[in-house]
Structure 1
Amino acid sequence: MECIQPSSEISNEDPNNFDCETNISALEWNKDPLHKGNNIEENQNSKRLKQRKKMKKILLKNFKSKLNDDGFPIRIVLSGYPFHLRRVDRDHQGKPTKLRYYCKHYRCKRCNCKFIALSPFETFETPDLQHSNFCKQIKEQQFNIISYEIVSKVIDQLEKPHMSTQKILIKLQRLFKELSDNEKCITYPTKTNLLKIIKESRCLKSQYDSSDVLRIKRTLDETDNLLQIYQMVPEQMIIYSSRRLLNYLKTSQRIYIDGTFKVSPKGAYQILIVMGYLPNIDETKPLCWVLLKSKKQEEYIRCFQNLRSLCTNWNPNYSSSDYKKSLHNALVYCFPNAYKIGCWFHFKQCLKRNVNKYNPSTKDSTNKQILTAIGNLAIYDPETVIEQFLDTVKRYPEFDKFFKYFGRNFLKKWDIKFWNVKYLPKESRTNNPLESYNGKIAKQIGQKRPLLDVAKGLQEEEQYIYGEIERKHRIQIVKRNK
């Protein structure tokens, strides 16, 4: 297993400017007992500490934005001596500019001490000189603690990857309510703001670390497998393949591309599978697996550019994919001379899902007639598709909404030649082999496995695929010699 380290190292700089010495308890992580050795523990702790600081930055940003938008907090202390919001100064647009919190210390009932807050964690004090000796020090400590204590408890919930977003949301709402009831919380964000916090913090967890790659390199056997790692700040991409499979991919003139979400490891959005047609055995085989962070067009473009750097002079004549516009645009950008075709199987599945959505009919036979009539447009001559479609619209006026959907998505958004398979051989009309392969590999590797388990599973899969290609190639040679 060869490993090429990312070109740019991960920065260890503190993204948040806060006092770690006085609040170190809010930043400590429990060491994983499965990892032995001081170096590994230190790497894990530094990685988690950095992750926690990034999540803290997201939380502080969302708290500030919530405050500046609504001016909504009620309490601002942790224990016993609350500052109550008594006045909100607003600008000409109605947005809060200053929040004035007045002291409620039990020993100074007439105290005029107040904190003027521009945000929950940026405050300055205008003390009452007669009474400030009683409560000034306590209030300063409370302000110092609040920006860490609450955020730390929230992060404790966010760092549980096995929990769903909805469960984390419920736990956070209960946590904020409990803290607020005990006068330990300034405020708690709305449901929309909490969902934003959860989403952003979970996106941070998808960043791979160089220590993960080193563990894979030490664990896997030294075989002909190839592990290429590309780091594009702030994204990363991992490509699994081998030299022998890449040689087949380089000579393949027909490629089939699809993504699977079930097998993607923790931290990856999907695994993009690239299949190639091998004329010497007259079959399509998966030749490359790419771990992607998203399904954006830029991510697909980087993926194909990296594959072209591995497979020099790789220019397929034909590519088949589903109906993701971002994937299609990336194929057009990277392979301008290749003939692009949409999968016929996905075309029919899309029609089947939407015919009941837009025009639910009590008669299944009518729906089947519509699906047959519209589905057959893909095998008519492209020049007669519009005419056939208008005839179908006239015959079934009650399905007007479904016809509008089809015209909007398949006649305007996509070129007819992209989903029309009239002049293609039957084996090239669909990437259905990829769909069956997705189910097979999901059973073999499992769903949402760690990165190391996925690497081992793909290593075994590579050896099996190469063995099958060689075996069938020998069979073809024997048949030709007879």
Structure 2
Amino acid sequence: MNKCKSFIILNDKKEILKYNSSHNHPENEYDVSLSIMKHKIKDGIEKSSIPFGIKIKPLYNKISKEMGLICPEYNSIKSQISRNLNKKLPSNVTTFAEIPSESEYYKTKRGENFMIFKNSNLIIFQSPFQAKLFREYNDDIFVDGTFFIAPKFSYQVFITRTYAKELDSFYTTSFAILKNKEQETYKMLFEKLKKNANTCNNNIRIEPKNLHCDFERAISKAAKTIFPNTNIKYCIWRYKKSLEIKKNKLCYNELFQIYHL
């Protein structure tokens, strides 16, 4: 019986030092390349300090080019890659209380913490650079809540943005996860953003000239409490929508009374 001449030599880090694909049973070469590909991708995931930022397809393309072997198709190992990646990620959070107060994932690439506050109803994320933008470009602050991307255990993701005239661009200056849309929660949000901006600016008071928001009383009242000299500018579309709803209610009541005389 002929002994297979194929072999793989690895170092202590399980990196391939030498590979010979001289099989006397060619059908197994694909299995070998599949095994090598899976190992290299798994190793790449384990070495990454930021698994959230891993782009699997480019990683696959890079490894397949380096191997120079008969590589398995991406779709054939996609599920295996996902399993390896999920093992590296933290477990899914199912309740607001499970959101950790400290985490390695609350750090920027520079090692700066960007989770600035958390209580039972609110968690706020703002990096030092975002705080700088919030502080230096505060003529117009834009705020908005979105519900489609909010975690199931929360009510909304709330975002603040600013406009940098020199760059002619909008920038996100903070984002937060809220359990509700109560005035006290918004008040706490604005208070912590103001405090963080002041802390990063040697306690020089920060107050936006204008705050643009939806026609929601809880937001505007909370903002006025924390920034009393700020002008509130409502979103016209939301304002018109609110008037339309009010008009329809009034007209419905009038028509109901007329038809039931």
**Does the 8 A contact of 2:118 with 2:124 survive in 1?**
no
Work out which of the residue numbers 97, 109, 115 in structure 2 matches 1:207: 97
For each residue in 1:81-132, what CA deviation from the matched residue of structure 2 results, as whole angstroms up to 9, or x when unmatched?
A: xxxxxxxxxxxxxxxxxxxxxxxxxxxxxxxxxxxxxxxxxxxxxxxxxxxx
Q: Distance in 2 between matches of 1:285 and 1:310?
A: 17
Instruction: Report whether the alignment pairs 1:266 with 2:156.
Output: no
Secondary structure at the aligned position of 1:257 is classed as strand
Q: Distance in 2 between matches of 1:236 and 1:229?
A: 14
**Does the 8 A contact of 2:215 with 2:242 survive in 1?**
no
**Does the 8 A contact of 2:135 with 2:206 survive in 1?**
yes
Q: Distance in 2 between matches of 1:248 and 1:399?
A: 52
Q: Distance in 2 between matches of 1:399 and 1:342?
A: 31
Which residue does 2:118 correspond to in 1? 231
Question: Following TM superposition, where does structure 1 have runs of at least 4 consecutive aligned residues deviating by more than 6 angstroms?
Answer: 34-37, 398-401
- 1:153-172 aligned within 5 A: none
For each residue in 1:357-383, what CA deviation from the matched residue of structure 2 results, as whole angstroms up to 9, or x when unmatched?
A: 5437xxxxxxxxxxxxxxxxxxxxxxx
Work out which of the residue numbers 182, 201, 224 in structure 2 matches 1:296: 182
Q: Please, what is the CA RMSD of the aligned residues?
A: 3.7
For each residue in 1:325-376, what CA deviation from the matched residue of structure 2 results, as whole angstroms up to 9, or x when unmatched?
A: 211111110000111222212112223445455437xxxxxxxxxxxxxxxx
Which residue does 1:86 correspond to in 2? none
1:229 to 1:248, Cα distance in 2 relative to 1, 3 A: closer
Which residue does 1:326 correspond to in 2? 218
**Does the 8 A contact of 2:117 with 2:123 survive in 1?**
yes
1:300 to partner: Cα distance = 0.9
**Does the 8 A contact of 1:230 with 1:236 survive in 2?**
no
TM-score by length of 2: 0.52
Q: Distance in 1 between matches of 2:185 and 2:147?
A: 16
1:222 to partner: Cα distance = 2.6
Which residue does 2:78 correspond to in 1? none
Higher relative contact order (CA 8 A, sep 6+): 1
**Does the 8 A contact of 1:227 with 1:238 survive in 2?**
no
Q: Distance in 1 between matches of 2:227 and 2:108?
A: 35
Which residue does 2:140 correspond to in 1? 254
Which residue does 1:245 correspond to in 2? 130
Work out which of the residue numbers 287, 293, 305 in structure 1 matches 2:191: 305
1:277 to partner: Cα distance = 2.4
**Does the 8 A contact of 1:208 with 1:267 survive in 2?**
no
1:291 to partner: Cα distance = 1.4
Q: Distance in 2 between matches of 1:353 and 1:236?
A: 29
- 1:131-142 aligned within 5 A: none
1:318 to partner: Cα distance = 1.1
1:214 to 1:336, Cα distance in 2 relative to 1, 3 A: same
Instruction: Report whether the alignment pairs 1:216 with 2:216.
Output: no
1:249 to 1:36, Cα distance in 2 relative to 1, 3 A: closer
1:321 to 1:399, Cα distance in 2 relative to 1, 3 A: farther
For 1:246, the aligned partner's letter is: A
Instruction: Report whether the alignment pairs 1:287 with 2:176.
Output: no
TM-score by length of 1: 0.30
Q: Distance in 2 between matches of 1:36 and 1:224?
A: 23
Which residue does 1:379 correspond to in 2? none
1:243 to 1:324, Cα distance in 2 relative to 1, 3 A: same
Which residue does 2:8 correspond to in 1? none
1:209 to partner: Cα distance = 3.6
Q: Distance in 2 between matches of 1:400 and 1:36?
A: 61
Q: Distance in 2 between matches of 1:267 and 1:257?
A: 22
Which residue does 1:121 correspond to in 2? none
1:298 to partner: Cα distance = 1.1
1:342 to 1:399, Cα distance in 2 relative to 1, 3 A: farther
Secondary structure at the aligned position of 1:336 is classed as coil
1:236 to 1:208, Cα distance in 2 relative to 1, 3 A: farther
More helix by share: 1
Which residue does 2:23 correspond to in 1? none
Q: Distance in 2 between matches of 1:247 and 1:330?
A: 22
Gaps of 5+ in 1: 2-33, 48-160, 162-204, 361-397, 402-482
